[in-house]
Structure 1
Amino acid sequence: MAVTLSETTRALVDAPNYATIVTLGRDGHPQTSVMWITRDGDDLLFSTVGSRQKAVNLRRDPRASVNVWDSANPESYVEIRGTVSVTPDEGRTLLNALALKYTGKAYPTEAPEVERVVLRLTPQRVAGNAK
């Protein structure tokens, strides 16, 4: 069952704070990646290359956990658990929006054959001291 994010959590995600996404490998061990993040309503959005391990893991097992912390106060954090859908990042729209958010510049051009995907996490549980 999806949950609604608090204003504090939304503010953490909306600011240019980094996030760590944890997925499960084929053998059940966790795999972590530091990511740029944004949201669409209460869903969290990430962009990655479709062949990266996190995307491979999520296509097989959509469960994930995300930790977002305040870069100015790392003790202020939130953990969001949920399920992830993997869809094409048409026109690299999300990637470019994230690059502008985090760097103020468009993302450098990638080879056209690089498959970019959107990871959309629908929250099911929220924990942490900034929730």
Structure 2
Amino acid sequence: MTIALNDTVRRLLDSPHPAVLSTIDPDGSPQSSVVWVTRDGDDVLISTERGRRKERNVARDGRVGLTVFDLANPYLYAEIRGTVTVTEDTGRTVAVRIAEEYLGPGAGKEYGDAGDGAVRVVLRLTPTKVLGNATKA
């Protein structure tokens, strides 16, 4: 069952705060990565390269946790649990969008350059549970 995010959680995700994505390694142990995020409605989008550990983990087991907190007030946070689907980031549009949200207009140019041959993918996190004090605000 998917759930809707409240306005406080949406504001956290819409601001350029780093988030921590936790996935499940093949041996069952946790794996965490600091990531940049954006939203598409109540889904959270993350851009990464195909073949990275987080992408391989969610392709095998889509269950994840994502924690984001306000850099100015670290006590304001949300943990979003849910499942991830993986799709190719055609034209690297999501990678560019996220880079510009975090670094400013025009900063996504290097993320849009496919000269390195790497395939970018989008991890789409659909929330099933949201915890943390941002859920109470």
> 1:101 matched to which residue of 2?
101
TM-score by length of 1: 0.97
Take 2:116 and 2:34, find their aligned partners in 1: how far apart are those partners?
24
Structure 1 stretch displaced more, 102-111 or 1-10: 102-111
Query: Is it true that 1:64 corresponds to 2:64 in the alignment?
Result: yes
Identity of aligned residues (%): 49
Superposed CA RMSD: 0.9
5+ residue gaps, structure 2, are none
Aligned residues: 131
Runs of 4+ in 1 over 6 A off after TM superposition: none
Take 1:119 and 1:40, find their aligned partners in 2: how far apart are those partners?
12
Partner SS for 2:58:
helix
Greater strand share, structure number: 1
Partner SS for 2:134:
coil
Greater helix share, structure number: 2
TM-score by length of 2: 0.93
Contact 1:26 1:57 in 2 (8 A): yes
1:112: how far off? 4.8
Take 1:18 and 1:9, find their aligned partners in 2: how far apart are those partners?
14
1:110: how far off? 4.3
Contact 1:21 1:66 in 2 (8 A): yes
